[in-house]
Structure 1
Amino acid sequence: MNSLTDRTPVARRRTPLNRSQIVGFWGAWAGWTLDGMDSFIYALVLTPALTELLPRSGIAATPANVGLAGSILFALFLVGWGLSFIWGPLADRFGRTKVLAATIFTFAIFTGLAATSTNVWQLGIYRFIAGVGIGGEWALAGTYVAEAWPEDRRKMGAGYLQTGYYAGFFLAAALNYTIGVHFGWRAMFLTGAVPVVVAILILLRVKEPEKWQKAEANTVRTKPLREILGPTYRRRTWVACILLTIAIIGLWAGAVYEPSAVIQLATRAGMAKADSIRMASVATGLLSIATILGCLALPPLAERIGRKKTLAIYFAGMAVSIVGSFGWAFYLPNGLAPFIAWLVVLGFFGGNFALFSLWLPEQFETRVRATAFAFCTSFGRFVGAGVNFLLGAAVLHMHTLGVPVALTSLAFVVGLFVIPFAPETKGEVLPQ
């Protein structure tokens, strides 16, 4: 006869995190948070910065010139963001923590230097180099957490990590409300130099993941970029590139045009200009909160039903919510409240990015993992940047915001047909 102890199920206990894993996670999370803050700082201070710097560059600070210069600087930033794939091979060769710290150093130093700009050309160079650093942070932070955390905790770690970027939006808004209002755009860029402290902390306190150390000791030198595009990994690399590109298109469509759409709807509802801007801030906050919740809900769902089904649900949710917000609510006579309600739904399913932090590391071995992550994200950014400029042209041509943005939902429909070609890694341990 079995004893009571034999019949009682043993409660599963999660593997405890050691000090290096905890400090490393918070370093990666803080870097990703400050990455989001840095990106949003530029959007907040663009107009006042260019209004001051264009005349010093011999260009009149007309609204048209400010808009044109802003677009050019944004393009330079995106090119830098896309070139961030260079960090992946470096991390596979020299280690995750060292190169992660280097990305944070890069975007922090050059964001701070933007405060010293005396003309628009200097600002453009600083933003370009800062973009290279910012673009590499996600790939390396995601790779680090996947490799450093225990197998039974790394999936949820991916969801926790992804919340950082959207927390950075809140931080940038708070800094602009306090520091920016009183001290101007240069002070805002100076706050972007704070992440240097995080980089130093990572270098001094965080050890390299054991998985990387073992792989480094046993690996014969190869060219990781050539390997992920070779016969072994080619299919999963390109499928991941396509899926990430679709996710990035949706992120930029929603995030870039959401404030303008809310301001238009609020103005149409009879709100004063200042109240319309405040309403856009509230809507952005709700969007960010919903995205954080989407990030946290995703890992348990992916563990229950699998990676591919989870991404399909999130992509379908993005398609429906983009149409519901920009294609339907935007054109209602009193569409402000329905639009914001749909934004919350859009934000939740925008948490699909957390799946890539969880799923991409599972598809590649340690010796090429950072290269693969960085390459796939950079590819998506380049294509997404082109789509974003086409979208802007469509808005100008059609003289409306809603329909062009709503059409980006088609990308997610395409994604639903691509997902079956990706590998399902549910239940598999991180490959060595």
Structure 2
Amino acid sequence: MPTTLDRQISATRATKTPLNRSQITGFWGAWAGWTLDGMDSFIYALVLAPALTELLPRSGYEATPANIGLAGSILFALFLVGWGLSFIWGPLADRFGRTKVLAATIFTFAIFTGLAATAHNVWELGFYRFCAGVGIGGEWALAGTYVAEAWPEDRRKMGAGYLQTGYYAGFFLAAALNYTIGAAFGWRAMFLVGLFPVVVSIVVLLRVKETDKWERAESVHPHVKHESSLKAIFNAQYRKRTIVAAVLLTVAIIGLWAGAVYEPSAVVQLATKAGMDKHDAARMASIATGLLSIGTIVGCLALPPMAEKIGRRKTLAVYFVGMAASIALAFGWAFYLPNGLVPFIALLVVLGFFGGNFALFSLWLPEQFETRVRATAFAFCTSVGRFFGAIVNFGIGAMVLNMKTLGVPIAITSIAFLIGLAVIPLAPETKGQELPN
């Protein structure tokens, strides 16, 4: 027999605001964009070794493990710099609307990912990855802004969690493609698959309605057209929260990207050490990436209810502690065990779960800024960390080269989360507050 609490929960669920067709189509367009975003981002990590093995000799360099590692770090840093420059999309979205600019970001990263398949040397590959990064960073910010504004207040918090799962579903998709298409047809075929998001961008542009919140802000504040939204997020009202959010995202980016991007290489090394041949080791890396992705998707879905129960700041603290511990244990301990493959992959699942901390920013950032500057703030805070991530990536590459090992340099990045824990109390707690207009 149902209890009073059961009836209350059922009544609450029954009264959830229904989504209209545009909101549903817009969400799936944004989710597909994030999925293909994640796929595009992780394709590079999966095809790094074969691509550079072919392209380095054509560029005048020997394809030694050390040169592959260094060139890979440099190219990934260029990708992060491109992602860092993607803050330019935010002011455009605040000026011209969410859907048009969102479609443009998807189109940009798709075209340049496809062009990477035509690279004749490392310089061309670096340029294409840089341009793809500019598009990818913008898509993340604008998809998050769109769902926050388009979905009803009683649904948008879980919407942030649902949306974030797309990025890691992309990791899983990239792993599956590498396991099949990559193994059969090589790295160029993997980049060609990245052209598919062009279709998504066309759907977004033609089928998705602009958010009511943005349209109301435009009608109420026509003077915003002549005002710099980038300047506005650093005025007295927003300066502190902009800086704090950017620092917290920088911490998340350094930790997760260090762990996730180098994870396939670490698994290949451990699988080879366990006696697998090159082909089986590559497949094991794909399996490990899939497990990492599943863990992160679960973490994304678990986060919004936790944030509603204990608050945004405490939730982020829990996820940061989990990230610090799992990165340190996976790369600093399991990686060096005589038979470390199984414990390393098990810790990757834990790392993936706490990597779902990015879902909090999709929920939390829109709550901190009003509509007229929301996309700019989201884009800036999610992009600026990429510059620091690029610097850290150079440092990781140098340490790997000098220390002749992958594990310890990655494990050191867990320190970033301790910095994040010290900064969290400076952020505003927005639990229970509605999205500002």
Bin the TM-score by the shorter chain.
over 0.9
* 1:84 counterpart residue number: 86
Deviations, residues 287-345 of structure 1 (Å, cap 9, x unaligned) = 11100000000001101111011001111111122222222223333333222222211
* 1:288 counterpart residue number: 293
Match of 1:223 among 217, 224, 228: 228
CA contact (8 A) 1:89 1:370 kept: yes
* 2:115 counterpart residue number: 113
* 1:193 counterpart residue number: 195
Equivalent-residue separation in structure 1 for 2:413 and 2:58 (angstroms): 39
Match status 1:156 vs 2:158: yes
Equivalent-residue separation in structure 1 for 2:72 and 2:176 (angstroms): 23
Equivalent-residue separation in structure 2 for 1:119 and 1:395 (angstroms): 24
Equivalent-residue separation in structure 2 for 1:30 and 1:351 (angstroms): 18
* 1:210 counterpart residue number: 212
Q: CA deviation at 1:38?
A: 1.2
CA contact (8 A) 1:251 1:350 kept: yes
Matches within 5 A, 1:96-175: 96-175=98-177
Equivalent-residue separation in structure 1 for 2:418 and 2:411 (angstroms): 12
CA contact (8 A) 2:45 2:262 kept: no
Matches within 5 A, 1:10-409: 11-12=11-12, 13-54=15-56, 56-57=58-59, 59-63=60-64, 65-219=67-221, 220-221=223-224, 222-409=227-414
Equivalent-residue separation in structure 2 for 1:66 and 1:15 (angstroms): 52
Secondary structure at 2:434's aligned position in 1?
A: coil
Q: CA deviation at 1:259?
A: 2.2
What letter corresponds to residue 11 of structure 1 in structure 2?
A
CA contact (8 A) 2:22 2:207 kept: yes
CA contact (8 A) 2:74 2:394 kept: no
Deviations, residues 62-81 of structure 1 (Å, cap 9, x unaligned) = 33555444443323222111
Closer, same or farther: CA 339–117 of 1 in aligned 2, 3 Å: closer
Gaps of 5+ in 1: none
Closer, same or farther: CA 164–294 of 1 in aligned 2, 3 Å: same
Q: CA deviation at 1:17?
A: 0.4
Q: How many residues align?
A: 425
Secondary structure at 1:303's aligned position in 2?
A: helix
Equivalent-residue separation in structure 2 for 1:163 and 1:379 (angstroms): 22
Secondary structure at 1:232's aligned position in 2?
A: coil
- Bigger drift between 91-100 and 214-223 goes to 214-223
CA contact (8 A) 1:325 1:339 kept: yes
* 2:435 counterpart residue number: 430
Equivalent-residue separation in structure 2 for 1:187 and 1:329 (angstroms): 33
* 1:414 counterpart residue number: 419
- Bigger drift between 130-139 and 259-268 goes to 259-268
Gaps of 5+ in 2: none
Give me the identity figure in percent.
79
Equivalent-residue separation in structure 2 for 1:181 and 1:272 (angstroms): 14
Q: CA deviation at 1:130?
A: 1.4
Equivalent-residue separation in structure 2 for 1:129 and 1:117 (angstroms): 13
Give the TM-score normalised by structure 2: 0.92
What letter corresponds to residue 366 of structure 1 in structure 2?
T
CA contact (8 A) 1:159 1:298 kept: yes
Equivalent-residue separation in structure 1 for 2:190 and 2:263 (angstroms): 23
Equivalent-residue separation in structure 1 for 2:342 and 2:57 (angstroms): 41
Equivalent-residue separation in structure 2 for 1:353 and 1:184 (angstroms): 31
What letter corresponds to residue 255 of structure 1 in structure 2?
A
- Bigger drift between 83-92 and 165-174 goes to 165-174
What letter corresponds to residue 357 of structure 2 in structure 1?
N
Secondary structure at 1:190's aligned position in 2?
A: helix
Secondary structure at 1:11's aligned position in 2?
A: helix
Equivalent-residue separation in structure 2 for 1:40 and 1:330 (angstroms): 21
What letter corresponds to residue 146 of structure 1 in structure 2?
A
Equivalent-residue separation in structure 1 for 2:74 and 2:346 (angstroms): 33
What letter corresponds to residue 320 of structure 2 in structure 1?
F
Deviations, residues 246-272 of structure 1 (Å, cap 9, x unaligned) = 100111121122223323333333444
Q: CA deviation at 1:384?
A: 1.4
What letter corresponds to residue 63 of structure 2 in structure 1?
T
CA contact (8 A) 1:105 1:196 kept: yes
CA contact (8 A) 1:50 1:61 kept: no
Give the TM-score normalised by structure 1: 0.93
CA contact (8 A) 1:252 1:388 kept: no
- Bigger drift between 352-361 and 10-19 goes to 10-19
